[in-house]
Chains A and B, each alone.
Chain A
Amino acid sequence: MAKHTIEVINKLLTHGLLAPSSFNLQHWRFHVVENPEKVSHLFSECDWKTTSVQAPPESAIIISGDYSAWENAPEYAKHLDPDFQALSLKKATAVYGTNHRTQLDEAARSCGFFLTNIIFSALEDNIGVSVASPNNLAAIISELNLNEATVPLCCVYLYSDATAELSMPLNPSHLDTMLANDQW
């Protein structure tokens, strides 16, 4: 029996959905893997890269991004100012219409905003999380049967014990390297 029920996982995902996304495009798409056997099968087949995981996860959420989401911009703009709403497709086309890399960038950024909501929500509920990066995109696309405009972005491993990963003390000397004022 997996430790994380669908209810627990859905609660995490629901918190994720409150993340911001550019033009509210919500590029995120999910595959929830609750069954430990499927978890291990998927990981041996798909070769996820992680620098910190020791034990196999109990369940997992694979997050992919729909990089064609911008084509439906007006549908996602209903909460924005009416003048923006009217122009949303024109603006989205200007930003994403011609450049595949800007489409991928946006799908990946959305995944990042989403991930933080999941990580913090898990932390507050004492669920351990760790994030893995895809290595072999083609293998994952084929294993999950992803459609053409969807790219695998990351995998969230879930554990019943919260790990200490997030509370790493920050080395104050790093702060100077990481933070600049007015000019880099």
Chain B
Amino acid sequence: MKDLLFTRFHQAINDRRAIKHFQPDFKIDSQLLSEILTMGFRVPTPGGCNPFRILKIEDNTELRTQLREIGFDQPQFTNASTLLFVSIDMNVLASAYSDQDVTDEILRNNAMILGGVFSQAVMLAAAARGLDSCPLIGFKFQPAGELLNKPDHQVITNLVTLGKRAKRPLARGSKIPLDELTVYL
């Protein structure tokens, strides 16, 4: 069954761009943020195991400054309204395959895939509501994990930042054409 959450996504897919410069004074309404996060938490996961462990940072400016230092001084760390560190609980994910043999390599790939699935769902939900976003891996993962008190059984996949754009991104470019990527069997 479809509900309202699942409308307007073709438009959102087109509108979403990776934003470097956010308006530093813009704050996302907390009710709206809950709706956006719910979209992320409703993506399909193996066996419905929901292995997501998300860390939200908004008002803690000291922490944001520390993160920017280990984030190659990228402006999103301090200027986006919301930072979401996306992580996967590897024990929970592994339990979804408990009756099957899954190699560590495939389990790790699946964790990364799920982090991407969650992140893009959140960013599309944001775009459908006129908000902007940027996914990031440009930070030092080990120090970030320590700073955020990450338990060992969780793996950070990436960061998602949300807010309102201050500057238009350059036109989409350098896309590989579909026919160069696809084999029809």
Contacts and interface: CB of A to CB of B under 8 A. Distances in A.
A104 B109 contact: yes
Contacts of A164: 1
Given A79-B171, A105-B108, A166-B6, A113 B119 contact: yes
Given A51-B47, A115-B117, A184-B55, A75 B174 contact: yes
Contacts of A68: none
Contacts of B9: 120-121, 123-124
A34 B185 CA distance: 7
A10 interface: yes
7 A-B pairs closest in CB distance: A112-B116, A79-B173, A108-B112, A116-B120, A51-B47, A112-B113, A120-B9
B142 interface: no
Interface residues on B, range: 35 or more
Contacts of A113: 116-117, 119-120, 135
Given A76-B174, A113-B135, A121-B13, A52 B117 contact: no
Interface string B133-158: 00101000000000011110010011
Contacts of A40: none
Contact of A77 (B1, B2, B174): B174
Contacts of A4: none
A131 B55 CA distance: 26
Given A112-B112, A116-B121, A181-B56, A162 B148 contact: no
Contacts of A78: 173-174
Choose among B101, B169, B185 the residue with the greatest number of A CB atoms under 10 Å from its CB. B185
A141 interface: no
Is the contact region of chain B dominated by helix, strand, or loop, or is it mixed? mixed
7 contacts: A19-B13, A24-B174, A28-B181, A108-B113, A115-B113, A115-B116, A181-B57
Contact of A51 (B16, B41, B96, B183): B96
A106 B18 CA distance: 16
B182 A167 contact: no
Interface string A91-111: 000010000010011101111
Interface residues on A, range: 35 or more
Interface of B: 1-3, 6-7, 9-10, 12-14, 16, 18, 20, 37-38, 41-44, 46-48, 50, 52-58, 60, 63, 87, 96-97, 100-102, 105-106, 108-121, 123-124, 135, 137, 148-151, 154, 157-158, 169-176, 178, 181-185
Contacts of B171: 79
B170 A49 contact: no
A109 B37 contact: no
B177 to A, nearest CB: 9
